[in-house]
Amino acid sequence: MKLQGKVAMVTGGASGIGKATALLFASEGASVAIVDIDEELGEAVEREITNAGGKAIFIRCDVTNSNDCHNAVDRTVDEFGGIDILFNNAGIIRRASVVDTTEEEWDRVMAVNVKSVFLCSKYAIPVMAKAGGGVIVNTASGWGLVGGKNAASYCASKAAVVNLTKAMAIDHGPQGIRVNAVCPGDTATGMLRSEAQQLGAPTEKFFEEAADRPLGRIGSPEEIARAVLFLASDDSSFVTGTALVVDGGGLAG
């Protein structure tokens, strides 16, 4: 039970990597606040955890809204007494070049992928600092470290998350707060299926092409969740300011 007695707040926790991580955190002993805009799926994850004997609450939250993020932090603290782990995972993608991306699409991607990290961290860090420390894990991407085709806003947003992670690690390390990023490669989630639809590609063929990496397959949400668990637990107690690539070797060469 790597997280026994800990409290974790997971944004984008209703599906994909967020859901897999919320379930894993709960199985490792954490009380989990599932933060998402999708009430139906979020409440289903809450029930799955509580039916298994764990502790969880669902909090509806637009992670681009300051009041919503502040409320999510306050409700988590009210329910569980604090926040030890913040997993800033909420994200979206728009597959388009700069020319083909509208200003509204650009703003939306940057708001969900970057502003949300800023807002949730802004309100959670004082709680962690008052308690003597904590851990923040941000979901970046392999495309936050290298460029990708027809994904300008997404690449820009995830690169921002990588460097924001480093800046936060420097600022808040003295408060006992570790801050790291996980950089997944293509993972079998609704977002990956959305990419295929945006590009007008058959999903099966798109997934096959995404598997073109040394391990010869795409990842599962559970595999990314295990990497997040490592960064969130004391197993990584001397790790901060890093971007952990979990991509089946996609960036290896």
123 catalytic, yes or no? no
Phi and psi torsions of 107, nearest 5°: -60, -40
Instruction: Report how far residue 33's alpha carbon sits from residue 9's, in angstroms, rounded to the nearest whole number.
Output: 5
In angstroms, the Cα distances linking 102 to 41, 151, 169 are 29, 12, 33
Q: Which helix (H) or strand (E) holds 8?
A: strand 7-11
177 and 134 Cβ atoms separated by less than 8 Å: yes
Contacts of 3 (CB under 8 A, 6+ apart): 25, 28, 29, 30, 84, 85, 229, 232, 233
Give rounded-to-5 percent helix, strand, coil for the chain: 50, 15, 35
Say which of 154, 155, 160, 164 is annotated catalytic: 154
Q: Which residues are catalytic?
A: 154
